[in-house]
Structure 1
């Protein structure tokens, strides 16, 4: 099989397209003929050796694929040969074949194409878990939800899911193209943070009260300013630090406004943590994926891919992400 291989820590340009042997199939695992794979900002951190997980060399990066099952281990019970699926991988996505633990493989909704379905592996469940689980944001009908970086993969998903949950969604994005895109995903209000102070705009939109929930993939000053436009007894969830700065949380603001900061790492639930919890948390992730499938089939969630790239163009796909020129996601396709 052909795969984009990382043999040393570096940038996207250091990856090379190589012929590699098919990965072995282990107990409880599923082999997938990859139709499409995802890359994200996290992928660039993995190949640079700066992510929380460092795969052994040589490896193909990529943690999300869609495709058709071609082989299953005898221990598998849910997935069969011929199934159209989406899967979360430890690594190995940028290859013509992928092997995943059955517990991390889910049926692809019939209403979603293979290219768009890559987002159902990580982006949508990340947002769905953060927004719906009681120990995180627990968004309820009538809440006002502020979503930052709403034109990105997890932000777009958060906008759609917030609306499906009955929230009023205020979204931030930068520039006319991205704000128009976010409006098209159903946000009630969209703020161009490159032209306006989002804190002031949020307070205007909420008559000075502030928002009930904040979903923040950016961090840094965005997180700090979000604390200052939140309602009393509200919650904020840091979901990533795309802005490059990990915020220091001022406890005095939390105390005065009775705010809660709810961290959320979806990786814990799919095996990306020192304690591999993918099996013990399986019922929770299965239920989450079924809920997402229902939203997709009802037209409430519409995964969007901005553009596609061939496997040998994976470095170009990552560069587009670094340049912040993408709305939604990009996808690597294995076939024309």
Structure 2
């Protein structure tokens, strides 16, 4: 089979190599999956660089989120067990963690419904307890993680403000359903959000960016607001001023979705059921902006790493035949 391997750490476009290798052998409790579609996530780039909290042994195949097919023909969503990731024709995953792929979504969409949407659901509902009528601010609203949060926020009845970088991404955020879109390249984010909320600020802020975005969040969070820290795509990890959180009376909530897989896997299953229902109703649908063949994976991972993509970029090793509404 063909699989991308990372033999040394560095930029994805430089260290990922497509090679002919033997299919991986599943271990105890694992299954071999034919990869139907593999969604690209920012952690794939971080792992290539050697900067992610999970560091698989070299060489490894990136790709942490797939729609795959079991040997008995079941169409499933899975998080591959590294080092046998999803940017390959076959991957390995834990049998107990397989989730049925929603019939309303095609392979690429199904692959993208997992980590980003689970993170959004846990962040907004489990951690921040978002309520209908509240204002939700989403940083990087046109990206893969942000676009999921926008859709889930709208599904929950929130008013959604999307912060993006550039006119093209602003258009995408509007199409996703953002009630207000702020282009950080041409507008002052703090002033724009205060204007949009009558000076009150946002009740919940969803931040996968960190850095300056987090600083902006602390200036526009409402009384009893909640800032959900999801990641640091900017590459800058902020140091929160706890005295500021005390004086303004807001909460800083961390979210590491992966912990639920070991600490409370039943919640992951419950979340998937909720997401599947939302997908069946057409309330959420992953924004897949690009579908690239297997040999284009390295360049695609680099584009995601560089922050020039919108929605999700998905690697499709073979022509899709998954269900779709």
TM-score, normalised on structure 2? Answer: 0.94
CA positional deviation for 1:294: 0.7
Within a 5 Å distance, the mapping from 1:164-313 to structure 2 comes to: 164-270=155-261, 277=262, 280-313=263-296
CA positional deviation for 1:323: 3.1
- Distance (whole Å) between structure 2 residues aligned to residue 102 and residue 290 of structure 1: 18
CA positional deviation for 1:155: 0.2
Give 1:123's aligned residue.
116
TM-score, normalised on structure 1? Answer: 0.91
- Distance (whole Å) between structure 2 residues aligned to residue 38 and residue 234 of structure 1: 32
CA positional deviation for 1:251: 1.6
Count of residue pairs the alignment pairs up: 316
Contact 1:89/1:104 (8 A) holds in 2: no
- Distance (whole Å) between structure 1 residues aligned to residue 31 and residue 125 of structure 2: 29
- Distance (whole Å) between structure 2 residues aligned to residue 320 and residue 6 of structure 1: 17
Alignment partner of 1:86: what SS?
A: strand
CA positional deviation for 1:269: 2.1
Alignment partner of 2:223: what SS?
A: strand
Give 2:36's aligned residue.
35
Give 1:114's aligned residue.
107
Structure 1: where are the runs of 5+ without partners? 71-80, 271-276
Contact 1:150/1:159 (8 A) holds in 2: yes
Query: C-alpha offsets along residues 186-232 of structure 1, whole Å, 9 cap, x if unaligned?
Result: 11111111111111111111111111100001111111111111111
Contact 1:150/1:171 (8 A) holds in 2: yes
- Distance (whole Å) between structure 2 residues aligned to residue 199 and residue 249 of structure 1: 17
Contact 1:103/1:282 (8 A) holds in 2: no
Q: Does 1:326 align with 2:309?
A: yes
Give 1:8's aligned residue.
8
Contact 1:66/1:118 (8 A) holds in 2: yes
CA positional deviation for 1:322: 2.9
CA positional deviation for 1:185: 0.9
Query: C-alpha offsets along residues 18-43 of structure 1, whole Å, 9 cap, x if unaligned?
Result: 12222112232222110111222211
Query: C-alpha offsets along residues 134-187 of structure 1, whole Å, 9 cap, x if unaligned?
Result: xx1111111110000001111000000001111111111111211111111111
Give 1:73's aligned residue.
none
| Stretch moving more, 50-59 or 209-218 | 50-59
Query: C-alpha offsets along residues 42-83 of structure 1, whole Å, 9 cap, x if unaligned?
Result: 11110121111111122111111112111xxxxxxxxxx211
Within a 5 Å distance, the mapping from 1:76-91 to structure 2 comes to: 81-91=72-82
- Distance (whole Å) between structure 2 residues aligned to residue 64 and residue 267 of structure 1: 12
Question: Given the alignment, which residue of 139, 147, 151 partners 1:156?
Answer: 147
CA positional deviation for 1:332: 0.8
Give the root-mean-square deviation of aligned CA atoms: 1.3
CA positional deviation for 1:102: 2.1
- Distance (whole Å) between structure 2 residues aligned to residue 323 and residue 53 of structure 1: 21
- Distance (whole Å) between structure 2 residues aligned to residue 183 and residue 246 of structure 1: 28
Change (3 A) 1:321 1:241: same
CA positional deviation for 1:302: 1.1
- Distance (whole Å) between structure 1 residues aligned to residue 141 and residue 106 of structure 2: 22
- Distance (whole Å) between structure 1 residues aligned to residue 278 and residue 115 of structure 2: 16
